[in-house]
Structure 1
Amino acid sequence: MISDKPSLEKPTPRKKHKSLKDYFDFRNNQVNQIGLILFSAFIISTSLHFVFEERFTEEQWKTRPMTRHKIVDDLIDSHVLLNKSKPDVIKSLGQPSFTITKDIMLYELGLAPQFNSNQVEHLYIEFNDETVSKVSLTLYDY
Protein backbone atom coordinates (compact mmCIF):
# COMPACT_ATOMS: atom_id res chain seq x y z
CA MET A 1 0.00 0.00 0.00
CA ILE A 2 1.02 3.50 -0.67
CA SER A 3 1.21 5.72 2.33
CA ASP A 4 1.91 9.38 2.76
CA LYS A 5 4.45 8.71 5.48
CA PRO A 6 8.12 8.83 4.58
CA SER A 7 9.79 5.47 4.27
CA LEU A 8 12.41 4.41 6.77
CA GLU A 9 14.25 2.42 4.14
CA LYS A 10 17.35 3.91 2.67
CA PRO A 11 16.86 5.08 -0.88
CA THR A 12 18.68 2.98 -3.42
CA PRO A 13 21.59 4.85 -4.91
CA ARG A 14 21.25 5.74 -8.56
CA LYS A 15 23.51 4.01 -11.02
CA LYS A 16 26.36 6.23 -12.06
CA HIS A 17 26.27 7.03 -15.77
CA LYS A 18 29.32 6.28 -17.84
CA SER A 19 30.99 9.24 -19.37
CA LEU A 20 31.43 9.34 -23.12
CA LYS A 21 35.16 8.68 -22.90
CA ASP A 22 34.49 5.39 -21.06
CA TYR A 23 32.78 3.99 -24.16
CA PHE A 24 35.93 4.60 -26.18
CA ASP A 25 38.45 3.42 -23.59
CA PHE A 26 39.82 0.22 -25.11
CA ARG A 27 42.61 -0.40 -22.61
CA ASN A 28 40.90 -3.14 -20.65
CA ASN A 29 37.98 -4.13 -22.84
CA GLN A 30 39.01 -7.08 -25.04
CA VAL A 31 35.58 -7.48 -26.64
CA ASN A 32 35.72 -3.91 -27.91
CA GLN A 33 39.28 -4.42 -29.12
CA ILE A 34 38.35 -7.53 -31.11
CA GLY A 35 35.30 -5.78 -32.57
CA LEU A 36 37.41 -2.79 -33.59
CA ILE A 37 40.00 -5.05 -35.25
CA LEU A 38 37.35 -6.99 -37.20
CA PHE A 39 35.58 -3.81 -38.28
CA SER A 40 38.87 -2.27 -39.42
CA ALA A 41 39.78 -5.43 -41.36
CA PHE A 42 36.38 -5.37 -43.09
CA ILE A 43 36.76 -1.71 -44.11
CA ILE A 44 40.31 -2.23 -45.39
CA SER A 45 39.46 -5.38 -47.38
CA THR A 46 36.37 -3.77 -48.94
CA SER A 47 38.38 -0.70 -49.92
CA LEU A 48 41.18 -2.78 -51.45
CA HIS A 49 38.70 -4.88 -53.41
CA PHE A 50 37.07 -1.74 -54.81
CA VAL A 51 40.39 -0.11 -55.70
CA PHE A 52 41.93 -3.12 -57.45
CA GLU A 53 38.83 -4.46 -59.20
CA GLU A 54 39.11 -4.12 -62.97
CA ARG A 55 36.55 -1.85 -64.63
CA PHE A 56 35.07 -2.44 -68.07
CA THR A 57 36.21 -0.18 -70.90
CA GLU A 58 35.55 -0.71 -74.59
CA GLU A 59 39.21 -0.07 -75.40
CA GLN A 60 40.47 -2.73 -73.00
CA TRP A 61 37.86 -5.23 -74.26
CA LYS A 62 38.94 -4.75 -77.88
CA THR A 63 42.71 -4.43 -77.47
CA ARG A 64 43.38 -7.11 -74.83
CA PRO A 65 41.10 -10.09 -75.55
CA MET A 66 43.10 -12.50 -73.34
CA THR A 67 42.31 -10.44 -70.21
CA ARG A 68 38.56 -10.11 -70.75
CA HIS A 69 37.88 -12.51 -67.88
CA LYS A 70 39.06 -9.77 -65.50
CA ILE A 71 36.51 -7.17 -66.62
CA VAL A 72 33.52 -9.30 -67.59
CA ASP A 73 32.01 -9.19 -64.09
CA ASP A 74 31.92 -5.40 -64.17
CA LEU A 75 30.38 -5.52 -67.65
CA ILE A 76 27.58 -7.83 -66.48
CA ASP A 77 26.95 -6.11 -63.13
CA SER A 78 26.79 -2.61 -64.62
CA HIS A 79 24.09 -3.64 -67.16
CA VAL A 80 25.86 -1.63 -69.88
CA LEU A 81 24.58 -3.86 -72.67
CA LEU A 82 20.95 -4.31 -71.63
CA ASN A 83 18.43 -2.88 -74.11
CA LYS A 84 21.13 -2.10 -76.68
CA SER A 85 20.66 -3.07 -80.30
CA LYS A 86 22.84 -5.63 -82.05
CA PRO A 87 24.81 -2.99 -84.03
CA ASP A 88 25.46 -1.07 -80.79
CA VAL A 89 26.79 -4.22 -79.10
CA ILE A 90 29.05 -4.99 -82.06
CA LYS A 91 30.27 -1.39 -82.02
CA SER A 92 31.06 -1.64 -78.29
CA LEU A 93 32.54 -5.17 -78.14
CA GLY A 94 33.60 -5.88 -81.71
CA GLN A 95 32.60 -8.90 -83.77
CA PRO A 96 31.46 -11.90 -81.70
CA SER A 97 33.62 -15.01 -81.50
CA PHE A 98 30.61 -17.20 -82.26
CA THR A 99 27.05 -16.61 -83.41
CA ILE A 100 24.85 -19.50 -82.30
CA THR A 101 21.61 -18.19 -83.78
CA LYS A 102 20.60 -14.78 -85.04
CA ASP A 103 19.60 -13.92 -81.46
CA ILE A 104 22.58 -15.38 -79.52
CA MET A 105 26.19 -14.20 -79.64
CA LEU A 106 29.23 -15.47 -77.73
CA TYR A 107 32.46 -13.63 -76.96
CA GLU A 108 35.59 -15.45 -75.80
CA LEU A 109 36.95 -14.25 -72.47
CA GLY A 110 40.54 -15.39 -72.57
CA LEU A 111 42.19 -17.86 -70.25
CA ALA A 112 41.17 -17.46 -66.65
CA PRO A 113 43.22 -19.34 -64.08
CA GLN A 114 41.58 -22.77 -63.76
CA PHE A 115 42.68 -26.10 -62.33
CA ASN A 116 42.17 -29.25 -64.41
CA SER A 117 39.29 -27.90 -66.44
CA ASN A 118 38.51 -28.28 -70.11
CA GLN A 119 35.77 -25.69 -69.90
CA VAL A 120 36.12 -22.24 -71.44
CA GLU A 121 34.05 -19.25 -70.38
CA HIS A 122 32.20 -17.11 -72.87
CA LEU A 123 30.11 -13.99 -72.57
CA TYR A 124 26.60 -15.01 -73.59
CA ILE A 125 24.42 -12.27 -75.10
CA GLU A 126 20.82 -13.00 -76.01
CA PHE A 127 18.61 -10.68 -78.05
CA ASN A 128 14.86 -10.38 -77.89
CA ASP A 129 13.08 -8.06 -80.35
CA GLU A 130 16.47 -6.83 -81.63
CA THR A 131 17.63 -5.61 -78.21
CA VAL A 132 19.76 -7.30 -75.56
CA SER A 133 17.59 -9.16 -73.07
CA LYS A 134 20.16 -11.34 -71.26
CA VAL A 135 23.88 -11.10 -70.55
CA SER A 136 25.62 -13.88 -68.63
CA LEU A 137 28.62 -16.19 -68.48
CA THR A 138 28.49 -19.66 -69.99
CA LEU A 139 30.88 -22.60 -69.83
CA TYR A 140 31.63 -24.76 -72.85
CA ASP A 141 33.64 -27.99 -72.96
CA TYR A 142 36.32 -28.37 -75.57
Structure 2
Amino acid sequence: MTENEHRKAARRAKRNNQIIFAVLTCLLLIVVFALCVIKYQHTFSKSKWDASKGDRYKIVNDMLDSYQLIGMSESDVIQLLGEEDSNEQTSFKISKQYFPPDSTLVYYLGVDFVDDNWLILSINGDVVTEYYLDVT
Protein backbone atom coordinates (compact mmCIF):
# COMPACT_ATOMS: atom_id res chain seq x y z
CA MET A 1 0.00 0.00 0.00
CA THR A 2 1.30 3.41 -0.87
CA GLU A 3 1.48 6.30 1.52
CA ASN A 4 -1.37 8.05 -0.33
CA GLU A 5 -3.59 4.99 0.11
CA HIS A 6 -2.72 4.90 3.84
CA ARG A 7 -3.79 8.54 4.22
CA LYS A 8 -7.09 7.87 2.41
CA ALA A 9 -7.75 4.81 4.61
CA ALA A 10 -6.94 6.84 7.75
CA ARG A 11 -9.31 9.66 6.68
CA ARG A 12 -12.05 7.12 5.92
CA ALA A 13 -11.57 5.49 9.32
CA LYS A 14 -11.62 8.89 11.04
CA ARG A 15 -14.83 9.89 9.20
CA ASN A 16 -16.46 6.56 10.06
CA ASN A 17 -15.51 7.01 13.72
CA GLN A 18 -16.99 10.53 13.70
CA ILE A 19 -20.23 9.25 12.16
CA ILE A 20 -20.49 6.43 14.71
CA PHE A 21 -19.79 8.87 17.56
CA ALA A 22 -22.45 11.30 16.25
CA VAL A 23 -25.05 8.52 15.93
CA LEU A 24 -24.33 7.23 19.44
CA THR A 25 -24.48 10.77 20.84
CA CYS A 26 -27.87 11.33 19.18
CA LEU A 27 -29.18 8.04 20.58
CA LEU A 28 -27.96 8.98 24.06
CA LEU A 29 -29.67 12.39 23.82
CA ILE A 30 -32.92 10.76 22.69
CA VAL A 31 -32.83 8.32 25.63
CA VAL A 32 -32.10 11.12 28.12
CA PHE A 33 -34.90 13.26 26.67
CA ALA A 34 -37.35 10.34 26.83
CA LEU A 35 -36.42 9.64 30.46
CA CYS A 36 -36.92 13.31 31.34
CA VAL A 37 -40.36 13.32 29.70
CA ILE A 38 -41.37 10.14 31.52
CA LYS A 39 -40.13 11.54 34.84
CA TYR A 40 -42.09 14.77 34.25
CA GLN A 41 -45.26 12.85 33.36
CA HIS A 42 -45.02 10.82 36.56
CA THR A 43 -44.23 13.67 38.96
CA PHE A 44 -47.06 14.97 41.17
CA SER A 45 -48.11 18.59 41.18
CA LYS A 46 -51.38 20.15 42.29
CA SER A 47 -51.91 21.66 38.83
CA LYS A 48 -51.46 18.25 37.13
CA TRP A 49 -53.79 16.62 39.66
CA ASP A 50 -56.48 19.24 39.02
CA ALA A 51 -56.03 19.43 35.25
CA SER A 52 -56.19 15.80 34.21
CA LYS A 53 -58.37 13.54 36.32
CA GLY A 54 -58.00 10.75 33.77
CA ASP A 55 -54.21 10.66 34.10
CA ARG A 56 -53.89 10.80 37.88
CA TYR A 57 -52.88 7.14 38.03
CA LYS A 58 -49.56 8.23 36.50
CA ILE A 59 -48.75 10.64 39.33
CA VAL A 60 -50.44 9.07 42.35
CA ASN A 61 -47.39 7.05 43.40
CA ASP A 62 -45.19 10.15 43.39
CA MET A 63 -47.83 11.96 45.46
CA LEU A 64 -47.96 9.09 47.96
CA ASP A 65 -44.15 9.12 48.19
CA SER A 66 -44.03 12.91 48.60
CA TYR A 67 -46.85 13.39 51.14
CA GLN A 68 -47.56 11.44 54.30
CA LEU A 69 -51.34 11.09 53.94
CA ILE A 70 -51.81 8.90 57.00
CA GLY A 71 -52.16 11.30 59.91
CA MET A 72 -53.02 14.24 57.66
CA SER A 73 -56.22 16.11 58.48
CA GLU A 74 -59.18 15.90 56.15
CA SER A 75 -58.99 19.64 55.44
CA ASP A 76 -55.28 19.34 54.53
CA VAL A 77 -56.07 16.48 52.15
CA ILE A 78 -58.85 18.52 50.54
CA GLN A 79 -56.47 21.46 50.22
CA LEU A 80 -53.90 19.19 48.54
CA LEU A 81 -56.18 17.08 46.34
CA GLY A 82 -59.39 19.10 46.13
CA GLU A 83 -62.90 17.91 46.84
CA GLU A 84 -63.44 14.19 46.43
CA ASP A 85 -64.65 12.90 43.07
CA SER A 86 -67.22 10.44 44.36
CA ASN A 87 -69.16 10.60 47.61
CA GLU A 88 -71.22 7.50 46.86
CA GLN A 89 -70.25 4.03 48.00
CA THR A 90 -68.64 2.09 45.19
CA SER A 91 -67.80 -1.58 44.98
CA PHE A 92 -64.04 -2.08 44.70
CA LYS A 93 -62.46 -5.24 43.31
CA ILE A 94 -59.22 -5.53 45.26
CA SER A 95 -60.02 -4.50 48.84
CA LYS A 96 -63.54 -5.96 48.88
CA GLN A 97 -64.37 -3.63 51.77
CA TYR A 98 -67.26 -1.35 52.46
CA PHE A 99 -66.20 2.28 52.69
CA PRO A 100 -68.92 4.42 54.31
CA PRO A 101 -69.28 7.70 52.41
CA ASP A 102 -69.30 9.87 55.54
CA SER A 103 -65.83 8.67 56.65
CA THR A 104 -64.17 8.20 53.27
CA LEU A 105 -62.67 10.42 50.59
CA VAL A 106 -62.61 8.87 47.11
CA TYR A 107 -60.57 10.26 44.20
CA TYR A 108 -60.78 9.08 40.60
CA LEU A 109 -57.37 8.29 39.11
CA GLY A 110 -58.33 7.38 35.56
CA VAL A 111 -58.44 4.21 33.49
CA ASP A 112 -55.33 2.07 33.40
CA PHE A 113 -55.81 -0.80 30.97
CA VAL A 114 -59.51 -1.64 31.44
CA ASP A 115 -60.23 -0.72 35.07
CA ASP A 116 -61.18 2.59 36.68
CA ASN A 117 -58.56 3.34 39.34
CA TRP A 118 -59.41 5.03 42.63
CA LEU A 119 -57.62 6.45 45.65
CA ILE A 120 -59.66 5.75 48.79
CA LEU A 121 -58.83 7.57 52.03
CA SER A 122 -60.40 6.36 55.28
CA ILE A 123 -61.07 9.19 57.73
CA ASN A 124 -61.47 8.73 61.48
CA GLY A 125 -61.88 11.79 63.69
CA ASP A 126 -60.90 14.20 60.87
CA VAL A 127 -57.60 12.34 60.31
CA VAL A 128 -56.63 9.97 57.49
CA THR A 129 -56.06 6.54 58.99
CA GLU A 130 -55.62 4.42 55.87
CA TYR A 131 -55.46 4.71 52.12
CA TYR A 132 -56.09 2.22 49.37
CA LEU A 133 -55.47 2.13 45.64
CA ASP A 134 -58.28 0.11 44.14
CA VAL A 135 -60.16 -0.54 40.91
CA THR A 136 -63.77 -0.86 39.81
TM-score band (shorter)?
0.5 to 0.7
Contact kept? 1:67, 1:109, Cα under 8 Å:
yes
Query: 1:74 Cα shift?
Result: 1.4
Q: Aligned Cα RMSD in Å?
A: 2.6
What secondary structure sits across from 2:111 in the alignment? coil
1:88 aligns with 2:104: no
- Partner amino acid, structure 1, of 2:131: V
Work out which of the two has the higher radius of gyration on C-alpha atoms and give 1 or 2: 1
Identity %: 27
- 5+ long unaligned stretches in structure 1: 1-47
Q: Please give the residue correspondences for 1:1-142 in structure 2 after superposition, counting only pairs within 5 Å.
A: 52=39, 54-99=42-87, 100=89, 101-112=101-112, 114=113, 117=114, 119-140=115-136
Contact kept? 1:123, 1:135, Cα under 8 Å:
yes
More helix by share: 2
Query: 1:81 Cα shift?
Result: 2.1
TM-score of the aligned structures, taking structure 2 as reference length:
0.56
- 5+ long unaligned stretches in structure 2: 1-34, 90-100
